[in-house]
Structure 1
Amino acid sequence: MKLSSDDLMVVLALCQEGTLERAGQFLSRDASSVFRAIKRIEAKIGGPLFERSKAGFQPFPAAEELAEKGRDISAALSKANAICSEIGGIQSGKLRVTTTDVLLEHVILPNMGALRQMMPQLSVQFSTSNQVVQLWERGFDLAIRPSSNPPDQLLGQCLKRFGYVAVCARDYEQSAQAQRGDFSKLNWLVPGGALKQHPIRKGLAEQMKSAASILSFDSMNQMLHGVHLGLGVAVIPDLAPLTRGLVRLDMPSAQDSTELWSLYHPSNRGNLLLQGFTKFVKTALADT
């Protein structure tokens, strides 16, 4: 029996993802469907393609060779889709975008009018998450998020480099000034929950040892809202839409600068919708 292009894509998915669950997400199938497909393919060729273990599936050399052919097919399909979009002259379709809550509310949504003018037939599905999203699991087409070390298996571009700044509301400024030089006694608003390992929190470890009080949030946007309510001091990205209306405090930076990246799976190379949305976000960030 001959192998089909679908067979090659299944082998590619399992080689690339390592587990049935992630391969299924890559292919928009369930894990049991991928398992049955691999068994069928192995029956076709008369031998095993993967070594099974508790850690997942390790490809044998034959599987890696077949996966390379699958990559060629994936790249060809991406180019074909790009050509079809160019022929139509209209950038229409659906794009699944994941980003952080604070970037969506303060950078992306306020500029959506410009995006609609630029790409009127684009449908965007937003998902906000402050946790690291694995795009190789194919739940999303594009991620717009801070990263000091983007994953090697993803493609993308750096949209902006930014630093961090300590801020408070004007209602809290007097309290902050009264503790000048001893920031450990301030009321601090910090990342918590799913964001507990955020570099901001690590950088504030010394100040928080004797803080007057600490409020933690698993949402950067809610933390920023707490600052505007005068609940205390927080370290936030130094982007104009976020710092507007707040008082900057003269204190050592608690966190080095980082980068904001547009990241996508290699199979989306040449996707005009993705390129257009990335250009839109970069333009929105130009004045921040």
Structure 2
Amino acid sequence: MKSSIAPTQYRLGAAELEVLLAMARTGTLAGAGERLGVDASTVFRAIQRMERGLGQPLFERSRAGYRATDLAQALAEQAERVEAALEAARAAAQAQPEQVTGTVRLSTTDTLLHGLIAPALQQLQPRHPALVFELHASNELVSLTRRDTDIAVRATRRPPQHLVGRQLGMIRSALYAGASSPAQWSDVEAGRAAWIALDDAIPDHPSVRWRRKHFPRAQPTFRVNTALTVMELVGRGMGIGVLPIFLAQHRSELRPLTGSLEDSETQLWLLTHPESRHLRRIAAVYGHLAETVQLP
């Protein structure tokens, strides 16, 4: 007689989803283990158990790491929702009325951090003293999809469509010389000025594109890797450079040689992930930046 009892189905729990999500975000056993606070072998065994239970592979293995299959990507999306719900529950359980707690990871460039974000956070911190900020300043794009960061502030004309974003305004730039430098616009036109630029570090930067368009024969005397370094060297009178107006306008050691350079403009975007934007800690920071960050 055939049994009427259905075979037991494998059930994924929160712990398994946490492991799967860490693997999908990092692509390596070691990286996932570091996020989870366990060793790589523990992660490996957990993935094996899930694959056996589900009866199909979750990751394709190669020398480059572990690439998530379509099934793993679908499960990772659900795991992100579980993660967001758990974070919201923990925050609600720990917070006092009107108190915002937790850690907010924010990614931006050093220029935007020093010129716009740090002053805004300085205003916010006394209002929410229980918040902790992890600030990542780099020209490299940190992934919100993998949750390497909670909020990103980026200069771009093409923000990722899968993220929640708000345009904060236009970043305008001008050509500057040091206040004590004798350089004039006529020196720039005559090719007598030394340029300080980001060519090798960020070859597609609007300032680099502008110079190459209008002064194609000009070669930088100093190639540097951050706009802050451009500003410091220009301020020392070591050459001329294109700088964001919001960063340079209050520096007495800098002198503009031009007005706003129209074809070097770009948009400033405030970005976050749709699954976590409603968490109190993220919403508090996102909302404050949206209200207070202003561009000239």
Paired residues, what number?
Answer: 282
Q: Does residue 283 of structure 2 align to residue 278 of structure 1?
A: no
In structure 2, the gaps of 5 or more residues are 1-9
CA distance in structure 2 between the partners assigned to 1:106 and 1:266 by the alignment? 27
TM-score scaled by structure 1?
A: 0.79
* Corresponding residue for residue 145 of structure 1: 154
Give runs of aligned pairs for residues 160-179 of structure 1, distance below 5 A: 160-172=169-181, 174-179=182-187
Partner of 2:107, secondary structure, is strand
Give runs of aligned pairs for residues 97-108 of structure 1, distance below 5 A: 97-108=106-117
CA offset at residue 261 of structure 1? 2.0
Aligned-residue CA RMSD (Å): 3.4
CA offset at residue 224 of structure 1? 0.9
Is residue 178–residue 235 contact of structure 2 (8 Å, CA) maintained in 1? yes
Counterpart of 2:196 (choices 189, 192, 197) is: 189
* Corresponding residue for residue 266 of structure 2: 258
TM-score scaled by structure 2?
A: 0.77
Give runs of aligned pairs for residues 63-82 of structure 1, distance below 5 A: 63=72, 66-67=75-76, 69-81=78-90
CA offset at residue 150 of structure 1? 2.0
Q: Given the superposition, is the C-alpha separation of residues 60 and 134 from structure 1 closer, same or farther in structure 2, using an over 3 Å criterion?
A: closer
* Corresponding residue for residue 69 of structure 2: 59
In structure 1, the gaps of 5 or more residues are none
Partner of 2:142, secondary structure, is coil
Percent sequence identity over matched residues?
27
CA distance in structure 2 between the partners assigned to 1:194 and 1:50 by the alignment? 34
Report Cα offsets for 1:191-238 as digits up to 9, x if no partner. Answer: 144324423213312525245x52121121111111222222211223
Is residue 20–residue 32 contact of structure 1 (8 Å, CA) maintained in 2? no
Q: Given the superposition, is the C-alpha separation of residues 33 and 277 from structure 1 closer, same or farther in structure 2, using an over 3 Å criterion?
A: same
Name the amino acid aligned to 2:238: L
Q: Does residue 141 of structure 2 align to residue 135 of structure 1?
A: no
Q: Given the superposition, is the C-alpha separation of residues 197 and 45 from structure 1 closer, same or farther in structure 2, using an over 3 Å criterion?
A: same
* Corresponding residue for residue 224 of structure 2: 217
CA distance in structure 2 between the partners assigned to 1:18 and 1:208 by the alignment? 41
CA distance in structure 2 between the partners assigned to 1:226 and 1:141 by the alignment? 33
CA distance in structure 2 between the partners assigned to 1:48 and 1:54 by the alignment? 17
CA distance in structure 2 between the partners assigned to 1:72 and 1:276 by the alignment? 20
Report Cα offsets for 1:65-100 as digits up to 9, x if no partner. Answer: 544543442343354356557763201222222222
Is residue 26–residue 32 contact of structure 2 (8 Å, CA) maintained in 1? no
Name the amino acid aligned to 1:261: W
CA distance in structure 1 between the partners assigned to 2:26 and 2:203 by the alignment? 28
CA offset at residue 139 of structure 1? 3.3
CA distance in structure 2 between the partners assigned to 1:26 and 1:259 by the alignment? 36
Partner of 2:15, secondary structure, is helix
Q: Does residue 248 of structure 2 align to residue 242 of structure 1?
A: yes
CA distance in structure 2 between the partners assigned to 1:223 and 1:25 by the alignment? 39
Structure possessing the higher radius of gyration over alpha carbons: 2
Write 1 or 2 for the structure with the bigger share of helix.
Answer: 1
Q: Given the superposition, is the C-alpha separation of residues 282 and 234 from structure 1 closer, same or farther in structure 2, using an over 3 Å criterion?
A: farther
Name the amino acid aligned to 1:281: L
CA offset at residue 45 of structure 1? 2.7
Is residue 81–residue 271 contact of structure 1 (8 Å, CA) maintained in 2? no
